[in-house]
Chains A and B, each alone.
Chain A
Amino acid sequence: MTSLKTASANAAAIVIEDGLLGDPVPLWKQTFKRLTRKRSGQVGLFLIGFMVLVAIFAPVIAPYDPNQVLIGIEQVKRRDPPCVHMFGCDVAKPQHIMGIDGNSRDVFSRLVYGSRISLMIGVVTVSVALITGVLLGSIAGYFGGWTDNVIMRCMDVILGFPSLLLAIAIVAVLGPGIVNALLAISVVSVPGYARVTRASVLSVKSQDFVAASRVLGGSKWRILFTRVLPNALTPIVVLATMGVASGILEAAGLSFLGLGAQPPTPEWGTMLGTEKDQMFSSPHLVFFPGIAIVITVLGFNLLGDGLRDALDPRLNS
């Protein structure tokens, strides 16, 4: 089995970076090193890291409970604009750096707690879609024949619909709510993972080390899951990173349409949708949730770009 492992590692073509001598450097270390050398990777990592920290420390960062109605507690009015004392806001007024929303709640606190929901949405949708898509794609690619045909034609049917439209249709049937929105986004994301996995598996399964495994008597499933799939994951990792961004964006879209997270959940898309009509009278209510979505999505996209470059052997000279 030792020779098999070496063959597998060689097939990945990214084992040894510093010449042919010395111990092989693990793939993740090389990738991280290359990722941090690229500007897009750096910025992506920083933005995502920042968002993750905000999500983890939300109770510490947010000055108010996100659902706390401030009527009768502070002298605030609905949709008050931001008040930052250091920028000249009257110190007698309570400080709300992103203002007050239509239900007299602190926008900043809702935005901070919203980061938890958005990240959760991204991770959950990608996880569900990834597991399902990779499983289906690898089976289709490795076994071929009618299995491949059935699975991939089903994927083609799903791909035949615009993803957001299909997600809206699924939520319309299941009923609005964040769980159904997650399910809908996961379902529409599956074909992407399945296709990429299938293509990758098709390419890897014809490699010599896979043939060697077969000759040595490895079962089909064992070869698929221990030899082929690990070596076919590179493009899927990149796709998954980008997928988090699109998952967040689609969930925000569904919530904006009133089909995703329901009030009083402080979800960014819901916050945008609820106050969209106040764009001209209270622009802060759409500006800040919009910016939060942009930053998070940009972070994941940049990270995905960086990962793609870091994992691409052709760009690693």
Chain B
Amino acid sequence: MKRMVFFGAAVAMSMMPAGAALSFEGMSLVAPDCNYGGKIKSIVATDEHTATFTMCSADPAFEAKAAFIVFGIQPSEHIAAAGPTKELLTNPIGTGPFKLDAWNRGDSIILKRNDNYWGTKPAYETLVFRWSTSGASQLNELRSGTVDQISTVSPDDFDAVKNDGDLQFLPIMGPNTLYLGMTNTFAPFDNVKVRQAIAMGIDRQRIVDNYFPDGSELASHFTPCTIPNGCAGEDWYGFDPAAAKALLAEAGFPDGFKTKIYYRDVFRTYLPEPSTIAVEFQSQLKANLGIDAEVAPMESGEFIGQASAGKLDGFYLLGWGADYPHITNFLDYHFGKDTQQFGASLPEIYEPLAKGSAIADVEAAKPVYEAANNAIRELVPMVPISHAAAGSAARAYVKNAGYRPFGAKQFSLVDPGKDTMVVMQNAEPISLYCGDESDGESTLVCTQLTETLLDYAQDSGDIVGGLATSCDPNADGTEWVCHLREGVKFTDGSDFDANDVVASYAAGLDASSPTHVGNTGAFDYFASLWGIMNAPAAQ
């Protein structure tokens, strides 16, 4: 027996004799039943190098989800010891190409090469993450040579970067969406006519034309059309201020109302100039609908927390970048049954989504996603604005600086031609336990430290091996057997095995586990993509 790790949730987690290896006692996570509404029935460490996922219903997106960095694997002992105390937030232990050396709060995160890494070792020793909320100041730092690569370039600076011989322009290919969110539990957004009026009363094309770089698109649906079934169903409303005003009057607000536009003043791929674009929305709401909206920037972590919990009482500007190439990544996360982001979840939307997530065939799933997209259009939980073209930049000497279509960038493959690579991203990570984070800054750093069962290819949306060489489904897609890579070690020196998989998933999935603490405890991705087991009735 390699490890003896006991979790408090006796119902969900137990040590069980392994069938294949007599010296290994595998752990398991078993849901009492599938009535909890989630996807996973059980996860069992079948033997030291095999983890078996049994599903409540077929999940065609299983592989794409399993490659997502929020489901990164950490040692079971570490999770048991550091999870309940929140030490996981600042002390991640992974199998990745780098290990955490120091987190200088407010300044930088320093990673050192993992010399025991099982894959291709980084060509340099130290990877430093710094941050700045503004695209322009990131570019200034890059030009001055104090950083080697930056996360995002302002659309206004695309040409300047392309024409600068010392720099290289790096297109970011991942699909994304900017939307204007509303919470339907706050007046007047509890009135669907108000939401529909806003959907018609904003000149979205004007925003795309003036605030986004060439190649950006007006959003016809919440999900970009490059994602299969993303654009099933009717297109979004056209701009019709007269009809919008009439609808607003019908809803009882002929002269508009007072509210706020919340946003975080952090440069995002989908929102390149938050404060400027917020003012554009403010101008349009006033001019087209008579709505007095005060712009209200918020601290990044607080904004995400309040938006996710459905606590913002006004409009809010938020967006989404694809984590994996499946429509569930866009729709299920935002409009699933347990999502509180837009207030009360809407059965007209989440019921078809639940059906769609169990259908593997894209064409067969199309009618279901048509229904879901049409319900989103009808009920307007938010207004989709744009799918932005985006770019990043690096110093010209940095090799392999480009981005892959899905998944955060892996800086282990980059070669700066020196011992230290300095990367500047848009904000400080909220924490380094990405199981309970959803911001790109946290996941970018986590990607260098921890690894997932599967991974995304560098040049396409294909799924490739990660900590598992493969995950194979049974005939009806209700069971996935993941064959784990052998000889992999964590950066604390311990061996990687199937129990680590069970423990890592259990920390996020099992609400009754003492390790289910995280940062806010929301575990948004676990909740929306798999479902939370043993959740208290109040949740």
Contact = CB atoms under 8 A, between A and B. Distances in A.
Nearest to B137: A277
Interface in A160-202: none
A263 B206 contact: no
A79 B156 contact: yes
Contacts of B276: 102-103, 274
Interface string B463-479: 00000000000000000
Interface residues of B, number: 24
B206 A277 contact: no
Interface in B235-272: 265
Contacts of A69: 280, 283, 287
Contacts of A103: 276, 279-280, 283
B414 interface: no
B210 interface: yes
Contacts of A67: 283
Contact of A277 (B134, B278, B279, B282): B134
Interface string B173-217: 000000000000000000000000000000000100011000000
Contact of A71 (B137, B160, B206): B206
B135 interface: yes
Nearest to B135: A277
B295 interface: yes
A42 interface: no
A78 B210 contact: yes
A264 B297 contact: no
Contacts of A264: 279, 282-283
B85 interface: no
B136 A104 contact: no
B25 interface: no
A278 interface: yes
Contacts of B265: 258
A57 B136 CA distance: 36
Interface string B118-145: 0000000000000000111100100000
B294 interface: yes
A262 B295 contact: yes
Nearest to A175: B296
B297 A258 contact: yes
A281 B283 contact: no
B275 interface: yes
B275 A263 contact: yes
Interface in B380-403: none
Contacts of B279: 103, 263-264
A281 B134 CA distance: 13
A146 interface: no
A274 B134 CA distance: 11
B302 interface: no
Nearest to B157: A281
A28 interface: no
A281 B275 contact: no
Contact of A280 (B134, B136, B275): B136
Nearest to A101: B276
Interface string B327-345: 0000000000000000000
Contacts of B148: none
Contacts of B136: 277-281
A281 B156 CA distance: 9
A264 B294 CA distance: 9
B295 A263 contact: yes
A81 to B, nearest CB: 13
A280 B154 CA distance: 13
A236 B156 CA distance: 50
Nearest to B284: A69
Interface string A267-278: 000000010011
Nearest to A67: B283
Contacts of B294: 262
A30 to B, nearest CB: 49
Contact of A102 (B206, B273, B282, B297): B273
A104 B137 contact: no
A72 interface: yes
B250 to A, nearest CB: 27
Interface string A234-273: 0000000000000000000000001000111000000000
A69 B211 CA distance: 13
Nearest to B211: A78
Contacts of B135: 277
A281 B280 contact: no
A103 B286 CA distance: 15
Among A102, A264, A274, find the residue whose CB has the most chain B CB atoms closer than 10 A. Answer: A102
Contacts of A281: 136, 156-157, 160
A87 B210 CA distance: 28
Interface in B265-313: 265, 273, 275-276, 278-280, 282-283, 287, 294-295, 297
B186 to A, nearest CB: 19
Contacts of A71: 206, 210
Nearest to B276: A102
Chain B CB within 10 Å, residue with most, of A71, A79, A258:
A71
A277 B141 CA distance: 12
Interface in B403-419: none
Interface in A62-105: 67, 69, 71-72, 78-79, 102-104
Contacts of A274: 275-276
Contacts of B210: 71, 78, 104
Nearest to B283: A69
Contacts of A278: 136, 156
A72 B206 contact: yes
B333 to A, nearest CB: 30
A124 to B, nearest CB: 21
Interface in B45-65: none
Given A262-B294, A277-B134, 15 more contacts: A69-B280, A69-B283, A69-B287, A71-B206, A72-B206, A78-B210, A103-B276, A103-B279, A103-B283, A258-B297, A264-B279, A274-B275, A277-B137, A278-B136, A281-B156
27 contacts: A67-B283, A69-B280, A69-B283, A69-B287, A71-B206, A72-B206, A78-B156, A102-B273, A102-B276, A103-B280, A103-B283, A104-B210, A258-B297, A262-B295, A263-B275, A263-B278, A274-B275, A274-B276, A277-B134, A278-B136, A278-B156, A279-B136, A280-B136, A280-B140, A281-B156, A281-B157, A281-B160
Interface of B: 134-137, 140, 156-157, 160, 206, 210-211, 265, 273, 275-276, 278-280, 282-283, 287, 294-295, 297
Interface of A: 67, 69, 71-72, 78-79, 102-104, 258, 262-264, 274, 277-281
Closest 8 CB pairs of A and B: A277-B136, A277-B134, A102-B276, A263-B279, A69-B283, A103-B279, A263-B295, A277-B137
